[in-house]
């Protein structure tokens, strides 16, 4: 075995341990970096053909391995836009140049224009729900856009539905046709009246007066008026008459609506949508007029976004000051067949490679994807105790290789000095 071969081998050993120390230093430096995946060095021997006459030392090759598929523990926060993934998958983010990346670093906050950006400056991507359920491209990012919450401010939503269930008194007097609320006369008679608040297209508040009048055995008339059209001092007659009149029929054996009776009242809101009041739970029993259930009619006046909520299936809700909750985005996850073979880049992001396989898009909770956790961050996978142990091992191995190099150098010096 030649002395030069010995020195080259020990030099490759020192280079390999230096690479190992480099990985350790990177891991320790990023031990507090959200979503960071630890790097490690794997070694492979390089054996040269000795020809059988003498031993020819080879060298050692070092290969970097990233534990991208390894999941870190979760650290819970007070911000709803801090996101972590429980299980498989990565957030889809984009850079300022528009290039798409994958990451587990979910420390998103709104920037100056309302876009959700993480600590490295990458913007979160999602599907807008403005046009209804999104159309997902499973093997690409088409249709994704930057999630922005600024455009949600001061939105008005017209009322479209609500619940209105009452008990109508069985023994209430029957009202003559001329005195029914639908006749809109000052002499109108009725068994009960309830007012509801709804909203038009511009967010203006509309107060609805809902009258119930007994018209015969098991039959009732429901009339809805716009309070803005009431007579001076309130009540009848209303200018323009009733917005809608609906007749209900009750079964005299159990006091419930018959199968042929309408179960709802559709109210055309002025400058608004059609409001459907569900009355399927109403009854006609021997008791006073009683409001059984009047769930707040949906819709809202113009208001600012009070907070953001993100469900475990990735649906982002904007909660307005009025209490209205509107689904605005659906945040997907992405994955590849072999995550550990993706290429890591600066900013704790990854890009697929030929070895990792192509990107696949899906929603949290779907087959092959984890769930989304709002108000949490995935911590680094670095274990400081293990890294410090590895650092000591690398130091000792480096020292041992340097001793071999030093010994080879000394023997070479002896060989050179034989001439003296």
Domains, the chain, ordered by start: 3-67+381-417 (no CATH), 77-153+308-378 (no CATH), 157-301 (2.60.98.20)
CA distance 375 to 74: 10
- Give dist(CA 256, CA 168) in Å, integer: 10
Predicted confidence at residue 169, as pLDDT, reads: 96
Q: In 213-225, which positions are buried (b, 16+ CB within 10 angstroms) versus exposed (e)? A: bbbeebebbbbbb
pLDDT at 23 over 70: yes
**Which secondary-structure segment (H or E) carries 386?**
helix 384-417
pLDDT score of 157: 80
The pLDDT value recorded for residue 167 is 96
244 versus 40: the higher-pLDDT residue is 244
pLDDT at 50 exceeding the cut of 70: no
| pLDDT digits 0-9 by tens, 346-393 | 999 999 999 999 999 999 998 889 999 999 999 999 999 999 999 999
Least confident of 2-6, 53-57, 392-396: 53-57
Return the pLDDT at 303: 75
Average pLDDT over residues 52-67: 78
Q: Give the mean pLDDT of 4-22.
A: 86
Task: Give residue-wise pLDDT tens across range 196-215.
Answer: 999 999 889 999 999 999 99
Q: Which two tokens stand for residue 194?
A: 């309830």
Q: What pLDDT score was predicted for residue 129?
A: 87
List CB contacts of 68: < 8 A, sequence separation 6 or more: 37, 339, 340, 342, 344, 350
pLDDT at 324: 73
Question: pLDDT class for 42, splitting at 50, 70, 90?
Answer: confident
Q: Is residue 85 within a helix (H) or strand (E), and if so which, with residue range? A: strand 83-86
Using a cut of 0.75, tell me whether the model's pTM lies above it. no
β-strands 274-278, 161-163: how paired?
A: parallel
Question: Which pLDDT band, with edges at 50, 70 and 90, does 130 fall under?
Answer: confident
Q: Give the start-end residues of each E strand in 333-405.
A: 333-335, 343-345, 349-351, 360-362, 371-374, 376-378
Lookup: tokens for 246? 């609906």
Q: DSSP secondary-structure letter at 342?
A: S
Digit-coded pLDDT (tens) for 233-292: 889 999 999 999 999 999 999 999 999 999 999 999 999 999 999 999 999 999 999 999
The pLDDT confidence band at residue 44, using thresholds 50, 70 and 90, is: confident
Tokens standing for residue 136: 């997902």
The residue behind tokens 């009540």 is 235
Mean pLDDT to the nearest integer, 49-61: 70
Query: Given pLDDT bands bounded at 50, 70 and 90, which one contains residue 49?
Result: low
Give alpha helix (H) positions in 53-195: none
Residue 6 CB partners (closer than 8 Å, separation 6+): 57, 404, 405, 407, 408
């Amino acid at each position: 075995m030649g002395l030069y071969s010995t020195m080259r081998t020990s030099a490759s050993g020192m280079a390999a341990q230096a690479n190992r120390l480099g990985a350790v230093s990177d891991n320790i430096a990023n031990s507090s970096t959200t979503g960071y995946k630890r790097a490690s060095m794997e070694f492979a021997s390089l054996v040269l053909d000795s020809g059988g006459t003498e031993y020819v030392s080879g060298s050692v090759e070092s290969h970097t391995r990233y534990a991208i598929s390894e999941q870190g523990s979760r650290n819970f926060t007070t911000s709803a836009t801090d996101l972590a993934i429980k299980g498989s998958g990565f957030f889809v983010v984009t850079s300022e140049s528009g290039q798409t990346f994958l990451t587990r670093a979910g420390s998103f906050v709104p920037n100056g224009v309302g876009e959700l950006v993480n600590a490295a400056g990458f913007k979160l991507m999602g599907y807008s729900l403005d046009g209804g359920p999104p159309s997902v491209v499973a093997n690409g990012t088409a249709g994704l856009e930057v999630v922005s919450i600024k455009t949600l401010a001061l939105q008005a939503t017209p009322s479209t539905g609500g619940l209105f269930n009452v008990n109508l008194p069985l023994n209430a007097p029957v009202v003559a046709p001329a005195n029914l609320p639908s006749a809109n006369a000052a002499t109108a008679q009725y068994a009960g009246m309830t007012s509801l608040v709804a909203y038009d297209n511009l967010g203006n508040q509309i107060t609805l007066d809902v009258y119930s009048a007994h018209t015969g055995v098991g039959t009732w008339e429901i009339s809805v008026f716009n309070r803005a059209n009431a007579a001076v001092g309130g009540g009848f007659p209303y200018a323009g008459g009733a917005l809608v009149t609906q007749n209900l029929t009750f079964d005299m054996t159990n006091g419930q609506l018959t199968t042929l009776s309408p179960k709802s009242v559709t109210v055309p809101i002025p400058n608004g949508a059609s409001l459907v009041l569900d009355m399927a739970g109403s009854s006609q029993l021997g008791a006073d007029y009683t409001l059984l259930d009047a769930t707040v009619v949906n819709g809202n006046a113009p208001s600012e976004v009070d907070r953001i909520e993100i469900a475990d299936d990735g649906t982002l809700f904007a909660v307005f000051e009025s209490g209205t909750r509107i689904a605005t985005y659906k945040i997907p996850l992405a994955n590849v067949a072999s995550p550990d073979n993706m290429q890591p880049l600066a900013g704790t992001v990854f890009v697929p490679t030929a070895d990792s396989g192509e990107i696949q898009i899906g929603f949290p909770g779907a087959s092959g994807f984890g769930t989304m956790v709002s108000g949490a961050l995935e911590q680094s996978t670095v274990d400081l105790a293990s890294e410090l142990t590895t650092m000591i091992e690398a130091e000792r191995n480096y020292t041992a290789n340097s001793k071999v190099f030093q010994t080879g150098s000394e023997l070479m010096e002896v060989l050179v000095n034989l001439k003296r």
